Chain A
């Protein structure tokens, strides 16, 4: 285990694996993922569409549903009262208390995350009340949370269809921070929003981190977003983490060939046109039902050596104990 910071991690994912069960076989959507999120940091999780980011996020909340199945691993969370709980093992009633209070989720595509037939007020306060607040406290708290994300309290009486996409996203964030959880999981909070709104939402996340010291796991397929606000970054490919390091390390000296390609694909970075995006990676995109043997990236890797197709690489830290680690046979 690396120890980048002296602090203990608020969230530690240990060797987590998730499959989707089919008729005859199972698809490996997330495989042996190890991740630690430190107090007060924004950890970015990047990877192309379909690499398993949402699956990982849902799994760490303990909410995988059939046909999905967690086949191994643990998700340890350090709670407000400094005890450590394994989200995947606690009994249901405690699990529900941990959610939202200790670890809150801002779902991908929040646009459809709100119940269309309930007012915003009801959707915020019902959860607060179930987490132990009194009715008027809950309402107070909901008002406060909306204010934090720069929304007018009048929003409370609205129905979701009366809000804009950006407003809905903010409501989702307001909900997630209303109990000031130590960990926030934000799944692509800015996709489907215009650039200006995107920026202000990201700003909102940064200020939340500053105000409450929450750790944020920020999921995105957009390296550009990461560059803007993440402290550390984890790169995921075909269900595995392939590289992890501080934002400076990863951008200045990416190690994994896949990370390099991701960085090169950032629109307008290094003078490239936005035309060459992730599609420009070449080769087939991974099929989770049939991963190649050895390193999952080797069929698309221009540096692949013989060993890559035979043996799965393990993590190494080629640059010494700087904290940047990579799973690649080249190092």
Chain B
């Protein structure tokens, strides 16, 4: 890997991932409580002390512990949504580009519709009817809204590939053109697929926190967005609990930064337009 963006982004992301996975262990090691997330261990929004460096949350939990556990949950939501969104997007994009004709038109209008219509209101409506607010459900729900971008890219790729002469040739020879396209397509598409998983994951983490800020979500799934939103709602910024907002916000932003660095690095490696020096040495 010669690309510095890819390298730095990748290493940093690895670090964040390890931190997230180690979060619960760290939380356990730095508290006397049996369950670091014990409710009402403190009074809600108890002032900052050595024991609770960023105060307690509105359920009286150690906010630091909530943060340490929350990283894993937030990444998990993003991961599930990213996978779901990408699978859906690849499927829709592939069918549209490969089958063409009316199917393509319909899928394209559908994709554009999902791109254009504001999704947050839809998500709000859907999520208030979710009674089991857990990682998988939320990830799935958010994933349902993150496929249009992927679908667009994949469709364009499949479409341009299926226009190439060798595919026509294969058709004439009665060979299986689907197989050829898949074989030709997959290698070229891999960076896009990674791009889309991480893009969809970022989108989902953003949306999840957004939902929390809009007051939807529950303490069962105390993601970073949850911690941040509740603290903000309680006036944390003016009230000395800024850490409860800044810490999760910082972690999320850093994660987005890494994923974006990786994406940009991938883009640079696969998109010659962005290269600044002559090639062919």
Is chain B in direct contact with chain A in the complex (CB below 8 A)? yes
A contact set with B: CB distance below 8 Å: 20-25, 27, 66-68, 287-289
Of residues B277, B278, B280, which shows the largest number of chain A Cβ atoms within 10 Å of its Cβ?
B278
Q: Nearest Cβ distance between residue B272 and chain A, in whole angstroms?
A: 13
Contact (Cβ within 8 A) B281 A20: no
Chain B at the A interface: SS class:
loop
Contact (Cβ within 8 A) A27 B280: yes
Q: What are 13 A-B pairs with beta-carbon distances under 8 A?
A: A20-B278, A21-B277, A21-B278, A22-B278, A22-B280, A22-B281, A24-B281, A27-B280, A66-B276, A67-B278, A287-B280, A288-B280, A289-B280
A309 CA to B275 CA, complexed, in Å: 35
Residue of B nearest to A287 (CB): B280
A23 CA to B276 CA, complexed, in Å: 9
A21 CA to B281 CA, complexed, in Å: 10
A residues in contact with B34, CB < 8 Å: none
Contact (Cβ within 8 A) A289 B281: yes
A217 CA to B277 CA, complexed, in Å: 30
Contact (Cβ within 8 A) B281 A67: no
Q: Nearest Cβ distance between residue B238 and chain A, in whole angstroms?
A: 52
Q: Mark B257-281, 1 if CB is under 8 A from A, else 0.
A: 0000000000000000000111111
Q: Which 5 A-B pairs have the closest CB atoms?
A: A20-B278, A67-B278, A22-B278, A22-B281, A23-B277
A166 CA to B277 CA, complexed, in Å: 35
Of residues A22, A25, A288, which shows the largest number of chain B Cβ atoms within 10 Å of its Cβ?
A22
B residues in contact with A66, CB < 8 Å: 276
Residues 225-281 (chain B) with a chain A CB within 8 angstroms: 276-281
A22 CA to B280 CA, complexed, in Å: 8
Supply 14 further A-B pairs (C-beta < 8 A) apart from A21-B278, A66-B276, A287-B280: A20-B278, A22-B277, A22-B278, A22-B281, A23-B277, A23-B281, A25-B281, A27-B278, A27-B280, A67-B276, A67-B277, A67-B278, A288-B280, A289-B281
Chain A at the B interface: SS class:
loop
A288 CA to B278 CA, complexed, in Å: 12
A54 CA to B144 CA, complexed, in Å: 51
Interface size on B, residues (CB 8 A): 6
A10 CA to B259 CA, complexed, in Å: 58
Q: Nearest Cβ distance between residue B245 and chain A, in whole angstroms?
A: 44
A residues in contact with B278, CB < 8 Å: 20-22, 27, 67-68
Q: Nearest Cβ distance between residue B270 and chain A, in whole angstroms?
A: 18
Q: Nearest Cβ distance between residue B117 and chain A, in whole angstroms?
A: 30
B residues in contact with A288, CB < 8 Å: 280
Q: Nearest Cβ distance between residue A200 and chain B, in whole angstroms?
A: 32
A residues in contact with B279, CB < 8 Å: 22
A288 CA to B279 CA, complexed, in Å: 11
A residues in contact with B281, CB < 8 Å: 22-25, 27, 289
A81 CA to B278 CA, complexed, in Å: 40
B residues in contact with A24, CB < 8 Å: 281
Residue of A nearest to B280 (CB): A289
Residue of A nearest to B279 (CB): A22
B residues in contact with A289, CB < 8 Å: 280-281
B residues in contact with A23, CB < 8 Å: 277, 281
B residues in contact with A27, CB < 8 Å: 278, 280-281
A68 CA to B277 CA, complexed, in Å: 9
A68 CA to B281 CA, complexed, in Å: 14
B residues in contact with A68, CB < 8 Å: 278
Q: Nearest Cβ distance between residue A289 and chain B, in whole angstroms?
A: 5
A residues in contact with B280, CB < 8 Å: 22, 27, 287-289
Q: Nearest Cβ distance between residue A217 and chain B, in whole angstroms?
A: 25
Q: Nearest Cβ distance between residue A115 and chain B, in whole angstroms?
A: 20
Residue of B nearest to A19 (CB): B278
Residue of B nearest to A67 (CB): B278
B residues in contact with A67, CB < 8 Å: 276-278
A23 CA to B275 CA, complexed, in Å: 11
A25 CA to B277 CA, complexed, in Å: 10
Q: Nearest Cβ distance between residue A39 and chain B, in whole angstroms?
A: 37
Q: Nearest Cβ distance between residue A255 and chain B, in whole angstroms?
A: 31
A27 CA to B278 CA, complexed, in Å: 8
Residue of B nearest to A20 (CB): B278
A288 CA to B280 CA, complexed, in Å: 9
A289 CA to B276 CA, complexed, in Å: 17
A residues in contact with B277, CB < 8 Å: 21-23, 67
B residues in contact with A287, CB < 8 Å: 280
A59 CA to B277 CA, complexed, in Å: 18
Q: Nearest Cβ distance between residue B58 and chain A, in whole angstroms?
A: 55
A66 CA to B277 CA, complexed, in Å: 8
Q: Nearest Cβ distance between residue B4 and chain A, in whole angstroms?
A: 13
A172 CA to B277 CA, complexed, in Å: 30
A24 CA to B281 CA, complexed, in Å: 8
A21 CA to B276 CA, complexed, in Å: 10
A67 CA to B279 CA, complexed, in Å: 10
B residues in contact with A21, CB < 8 Å: 277-278
A67 CA to B276 CA, complexed, in Å: 7
Q: Nearest Cβ distance between residue A124 and chain B, in whole angstroms?
A: 30
A319 CA to B279 CA, complexed, in Å: 42
A167 CA to B250 CA, complexed, in Å: 59
A25 CA to B279 CA, complexed, in Å: 10
Residue of B nearest to A66 (CB): B276
Q: Nearest Cβ distance between residue A50 and chain B, in whole angstroms?
A: 11
Residue of B nearest to A288 (CB): B280
